[in-house]
Amino acid sequence: MFMSRILEMKRINFLMMIILSFVLGGCQAEALAADQLPWVGGESVLFKDDFSYTTGGWRTYEDSISFAGHQSGGFRLWANVPQYQFWSTPGLNFSDTLIYTKTRQLGGPSDNMVGVLCRYQNSANYYALVIGSDGYYGIYKMAAGQQSLIAQAHMDFSDKIHRGGEENEIIALCKGNQLALVVNDTPLIQVEDSTFKNGDVGLIVGNFSEAGVDIFFDDFIVIKP
């Protein structure tokens, strides 16, 4: 178990270097990764939760049409309402972040939204870096209650996103005015926006025309890039 955990940390370290190289480029990114990704202690790890315990501060909720809470060693988000987004945040406040998580679809439509939040101010103001279980991806901005994709006419498709119930590794960067998304080792998109400077981090899912999105998240790590 101990050796498995070390290998997992090395794997995450490698993924973080990919996104830093994607956004910052070349030797500068490599130096940042080497200097700022200590996995045992260190000031660069801002927050991490493997969801083994229920003490991470996450907002939990349950009723007949939605669920947000710890389950089976992870965190589950389920919502049975069409055209609806549902999220949970741990109640933190950061400016620049590099976020890692793993996701797996438990049920519901493949035409969905799954990902992470950064610089979350409130329900009407945040960034969402997301994929769909059907292979699509995008970076959204919710500003004053109006949601729009940044630098995309629509969510784009990548065959690097695992579909159906297969696991996906998501890394999201929010650094300065740079927002970037890497999935399963593959840089997918980088955009610029300066609307929000700081805020909470979190997990988000969403339905489009068909309801029932049901997603399992495992591991949530936030690093200062």
Q: For residue range 104-135, what is the model confidence (pLDDT) as tens digits?
A: 999 999 999 999 999 999 999 999 999 999 99
Provide the 10 A C-beta neighbour count for residue 31.
Answer: 12
| Phi (first) and psi of residue 215, to 5 degrees | -130, 140
Residues 117 and 163: their CA atoms lie apart, in Å, by 21
- Give the start-to-end residue ranges of the domains of the chain: 46-223
Cα–Cα distance for residue pair 58/21, rounded to 1 Å: 31
Rg, Å, the chain Cα set: 16
b (16+ CB within 10 A) / e for 184-200: beebbbbbebeebeebb
pLDDT tens digits, 59-75: 999 999 999 999 999 99
pLDDT level of residue 41 (50, 70, 90 thresholds): very low
Check if CATH label 2.60.120.560 holds for domain 46-223.
Answer: yes
Spatial distance between the Cα atoms of 153 and 92, rounded to a whole number of angstroms: 31
Q: Which pTM was predicted?
A: 0.85
